[in-house]
Amino acid sequence: MAFIDNLAFSLFAISMAGFMLLYAISSMYFVYKRKRKDFSEYLDSASIPLAILGAFMFITGLWGQFTWPLPGSYNILFYDPLVAFSILLISFSLAIRLKTKLEYAGFLSLMIRIDSH
């Protein structure tokens, strides 16, 4: 049976989501700086890929929580934050898609941050 490094897939998904968030928010900022009124379409176009990445990371994180594929406590170190970050990505993309205030996703990220310490 072939060896598949699931941790590399998870870390690649985290970096991809970070770059996608950075690109969407920076492009929205430059449109806002040019004094255009409707800059929400730049965030709206990024909501679907962020939700797909969040769903992939959520499934991978839950799989890692249930099967413990890594040695020892590395499972807790890598898969607990992966599930939390994926929930945050999904809530952020849903808030963008449903055109609600983004502060609710921010409150969720604050609760995840408090819970992780």
For the CA atoms of 90, 91, 93, 95, the dihedral, rounded to the nearest 10 degrees, stands at: 160
- The predicted-structure confidence for 45-97, as pLDDT tens digits, reads as follows 888 999 999 999 999 999 988 988 888 788 888 888 898 889 889 988 988 88
Q: What are the angstrom distances between the C-alpha of 26 and each of 39, 42, 43, 61, 91?
A: 11, 10, 10, 28, 20
List the chain domain ranges. 7-115
Q: Are 83 and 10 a contacting pair, CB within 8 Å?
A: no
First-to-final CA distance of the chain? 38
Structure pTM? 0.82
Residues 6+ away with beta carbon under 8 Å from 1: none
